[in-house]
Amino acid sequence: MTTLPCGLIFLSVTRNIPLKVACIESGKEQREIAALAKIHHTRLSQIISNRVTPNESERLRIAGVLQRSVSDLFPEVAA
């Protein structure tokens, strides 16, 4: 958390950059990706924002929809 000079508080959110980039490159909206992966769109948003950790099934479904490997989208799991 950082306080800006104007007094506003800025919350830094760590994102899953590889996943976010893959979503953008797919040309699909996040709601569509979530629907195809059979997860709620807010859950996908939380996964991208690293607020929740996807389970193995979710990782596999998201990777399948985006046509990427799980290790490409979730490098912390592969480590």
Any idea where the domains of the chain sit in the sequence?
A: 15-78
CA distance 13 to 7: 19
Is 61 within 8 Å of 38 (Cβ atoms)? Answer: yes
Residue 2 has what pLDDT? 53
Q: Is the pLDDT of residue 35 over 70?
A: yes
Helix (H) or strand (E) holding 67: none
**Cut 0.75: pTM above it:** yes
DSSP-based three-state secondary structure for 49 = coil
DSSP string, 1-40: -EE-TTS-EE------HHHHHHHHHHT--HHHHHHHTTS-
Judged against a pLDDT cut of 90, whether residue 48 lies above it is answered with yes
Does pLDDT of 7 surpass 90?
no
Looking at domain 15-78, which CATH architecture does it have?
Orthogonal Bundle (1.10)
